Each structure stands twice: as structure tokens, then as C-alpha cells.
Structure 1
């Protein structure tokens, strides 16, 4: 007699950027368990801080009562030829989109000379130049086919790129969420963010946590899925990232001839 597989209801939401925030553990647990990021925080302050093993990157989650203030901040310090950079996300940014950015820390970075077109994933998904611009954005912005999401390149007074603003909004209502991308952000990181934004695969949420705008302006369908697949989704994701991380160890520069063997430090 075969065992009966338990199933539960889950709602599939498309486009994903209307799915709501989701569980922050989708981002934080893999960083901690698969990539060795350390955690810090004050038990009296509702804030989470994770720092990369090399101490160059830091992710801060700081809930703010002001909905206009970002909750997520990812900062990377100046290192070599790479200037310091930062990306911030509002509270309602889907965690899967944030994870696309943090997951770049578990993948091999492209060579410094490699040039990645950040807008490539958007063009491939049918995004187009928006019809209107304000005085601070260049005409190189991109808008989703349904007009609900937009990416604008911000320029400074000299005309140089100062970064990007990602915004999801419905008509004349306040923005659902925004992300700000520093102009110094590596192109492969920006491309990962835009790729997640343009991804047409639906995101999964509990039926009781589906935003109303996703129902009225997106596509939702609720169906039965394996309870086991839901329960172990985060574990499986963490395991996969840990395996990818271990498969690409950082390469150390070769020691010069006759150089003494460097001492191991803790």
C-alpha cells in the first residue's frame, strides 16, 4: 500500500514583483548557512545585520515605520579597483528578487574586464523604453510590458550614470516598492537584479498572504502542492547554494619564487 502524500494550498502569483515581501529567511538563511556570513544585532532593536566572511559586504534589515524608508540595505566596501556600492530595497520587495542579488556572492564573479549589459534580461522579457521621463532620468529606462514595473537610470549634473531606481506601482497609487541601485554596483549584480525582476515564473505565497493588488492587477491561481516540497524548499535552496559555493573556492595569487610560506591566521 503506497503512502499518501499530504498536500496544501499555495497561490502562484505572476508577475512576481506583485507577490509581496515573503519570508526574509529565503535570503538570510542561505547567507548564514551556505556562505558563512556572520550575524550581529541588538536584542532590544528590531534589526538584523549579516556580514560576509571577508568583511567586505554587509546586509542590514531594519524595519522602519515609515513605508518610504528602505528596510533592506546591501553594502559592499571599496576593494581593489571596485568602488564601494550599495543597493536598498523597500519592505514589500519580494525576497526572491533580493535573493537574486545576494546569490551573486555564491557564484564566481566574471572577469574584471567582462562587460555585462544590465538591461539584457529586461529586453529579452519584452520590456521597452518608457513613454515619459522626468528631468532626472535618462531615456535609457525600461518599462515592463504591463506598465506596472519600471527601471530608470539616474544621471548626475554632468550626465554620468549615478545608478538606477526600480519601482513597482499601479497607476496613480503610491509605489508598492522601490529599489535603489548605486552606480558603482558591478554590472553582473545589477543584471541579476533585473533578471529576477523580468522573470516570468510565478512566485509562491500562502493563500492568506496574497496582496490585494496581485489579485486585481496580476494573475493568481491557487492549487494543491506537496506539503513536503514547501517544507523543504528553503533547505534545498540552501544546500544547492552551499554546493555551488564550495565548487568555486577563491583562488589565491601564486606566491613569488622563493617566497616564504605565509602563516595561517585565524
Structure 2
């Protein structure tokens, strides 16, 4: 991002979001570090980034490698909860990964609830696909599948009927609420922003993708991340309580002098 706040840049607003490309990794890394207290480390002499949760039970690694998933999220076992992991390909939009990490770090989440990740897809007109338990998006580009009720989840985005754009994988025992957050993001119709000349779209097919270009100040683009950090920081802020009245005086603004 430019250091000159008055500089104007061009932004593409892309829909559907699953074909918008990877996006800016700081949408995830800065938020986990600044809003959720995760420790941020850079692997020396590599582009790798590692973030560790405050309780040291979760680890997110960004490892740009053309032969492997770029993002991997590992969680250690807990009492009555086995270990699990999730992985995401290079062109997985950061908004989808952020939906998972936001749900994971939500201190108010009801961990006992187990929403069906398929429900939101069915409500968005996804239909059954293939011999396995799976659904396909209305545009035919995105598939979510699992072999049975006790197995892993797989999401695949393809264009031209065969070219894979990205994969996402959730292992067995991944909390259902995290997968449900992922599927909810899959059906979100809101376009996502990508700065022109800094991203490579997986497809420009106008029958699949809508792009709206907008010129705006660089500072306004940067503010979106700042606002996201602020919003998520408030989830961890302690509740404020009104100051107590001095001894001998009734509380409240209407007390007599």
C-alpha cells in the first residue's frame, strides 16, 4: 500500500467472491496479531509466516509453496476434543479463511452448538452433486463434499469444467461451527475488493465474474483493514462499568450538590 495517503488507486470489486483470487494476507495475519493477541513470527530467509494463539493450542502457517497448500491451520487436542487441521490453496480468498479464524477466535461463540454446514448452502440454492454427500453452487464452479458424517470436508473451485482454482480441506474433528462459517462466506453475495495490478484473477470470463472498477484514495483502502482490526478487538475488550459514586452520595446524574 502506498505511503502517500492522497494517492489514488484503482480497486476491482469482484463477484462472486470465490473467483476473486487470494487477496491480501494481512486481512488474516494482522487481525490475528493485533486484534486477537496471536504471536507473529517470520521464518528467517523465507516468506513464511507463523502465528500462534495465546493459549498455544492453535497455529496458523502461511507458507507460499506452489506444490503445497499455502495456508494450514492446526489445533491441538483438548479434553474430549481430538486434534484437527484445515488447509487452503493459494487462490483461496482471504475472506473465506478469515471467516474461519474469526469464528475460532470469537470469545462469545457457543462451542456446544453444532450447525449443519450444508444448511446455508441449501438455502442459497446449492444442489446435490455426485455420488458422495456433496453440493454444487448454482454457477457450477464450487463443490463441497464429505464421504460420510464422520469424515473430512473438501471444497473445490473449478472453471472451464476441469481447471482447479483452489482447494480447501477440513480434517475430521474440525468444529462444525468453523465449517459453517466457511460455507456462510461461500454464499455471501457481497463483492470483495482487490487492488488492480496487484492480483491475478483466476478467470476473466464475464459469464462467471463481475468486476466493478473504482478509483479511491489509498488511505481509504487501508482503512478497511484498520476498521476490521478495531471491530474484532472489541470482542476481547472487558465490559465497561459506570464509576461508583463517592461515599455518602447517591449514584446517578441527578444527585443534589
Band of TM-score, shorter chain: 0.7 to 0.9
Are residues 52 and 206 of structure 1, via their aligned partners in 2, closer, same or farther at CA, if it must alter by over 3 Å?
same
What is the aligned partner in structure 1 of residue 71 from structure 2? 72
1:14-33 aligned within 5 A = 14-33=15-34
Cα deviation, 1:135-168, whole Å, max 9, x if unaligned, reads xxx2x3111000011101134xxxx531111000
What is the aligned partner in structure 1 of residue 255 from structure 2? none
What is the aligned partner in structure 2 of residue 35 from structure 1? 36
Q: Cα distance, 1:172 vs. partner?
A: 3.5
Partners of 1:40 and 1:226 lie apart in 2 by: 31
Question: Residue 205 in 1 paired to residue 194 in 2?
Answer: yes
Preserved CA contact (<8 Å) 1:11 1:210: no
What is the aligned partner in structure 1 of residue 251 from structure 2? none
Partners of 1:92 and 1:212 lie apart in 2 by: 8
**What TM-score comes out, normalization by structure 1 length?**
0.81
1:4-153 aligned within 5 A = 8-66=9-67, 69-107=68-106, 108-112=108-112, 114-130=113-129, 132-133=130-131, 138=132, 140-153=133-146
Gaps of 5+ in 1: 249-266
Q: Cα distance, 1:105 vs. partner?
A: 2.9
2:203 alignment partner, SS class: helix
Aligned with residue 210 of structure 2, among 203, 212, 219: 219
Partners of 1:214 and 1:109 lie apart in 2 by: 38
2:163 alignment partner, SS class: coil
What is the aligned partner in structure 2 of residue 262 from structure 1? none
What is the aligned partner in structure 2 of residue 256 from structure 1? none
**What TM-score comes out, normalization by structure 2 length?**
0.83
> Pairwise CA RMSD of aligned residues?
1.9
Gaps of 5+ in 2: 1-5, 240-257
Q: Cα distance, 1:22 vs. partner?
A: 0.6
Are residues 150 and 165 of structure 1, via their aligned partners in 2, closer, same or farther at CA, if it must alter by over 3 Å?
same
Partners of 1:212 and 1:165 lie apart in 2 by: 20
1:176 alignment partner, SS class: strand
Are residues 144 and 207 of structure 1, via their aligned partners in 2, closer, same or farther at CA, if it must alter by over 3 Å?
same
Are residues 128 and 244 of structure 1, via their aligned partners in 2, closer, same or farther at CA, if it must alter by over 3 Å?
same
Q: Cα distance, 1:128 vs. partner?
A: 1.3
Are residues 193 and 41 of structure 1, via their aligned partners in 2, closer, same or farther at CA, if it must alter by over 3 Å?
same
Q: Cα distance, 1:21 vs. partner?
A: 0.6
Aligned residue pair count: 231
Preserved CA contact (<8 Å) 2:11 2:193: yes
Rg: which structure is higher?
2
Partners of 2:49 and 2:227 lie apart in 1 by: 23
Cα deviation, 1:194-220, whole Å, max 9, x if unaligned, reads 111111111111222251504442111
* Moved beyond 6 Å, runs of 4+: none
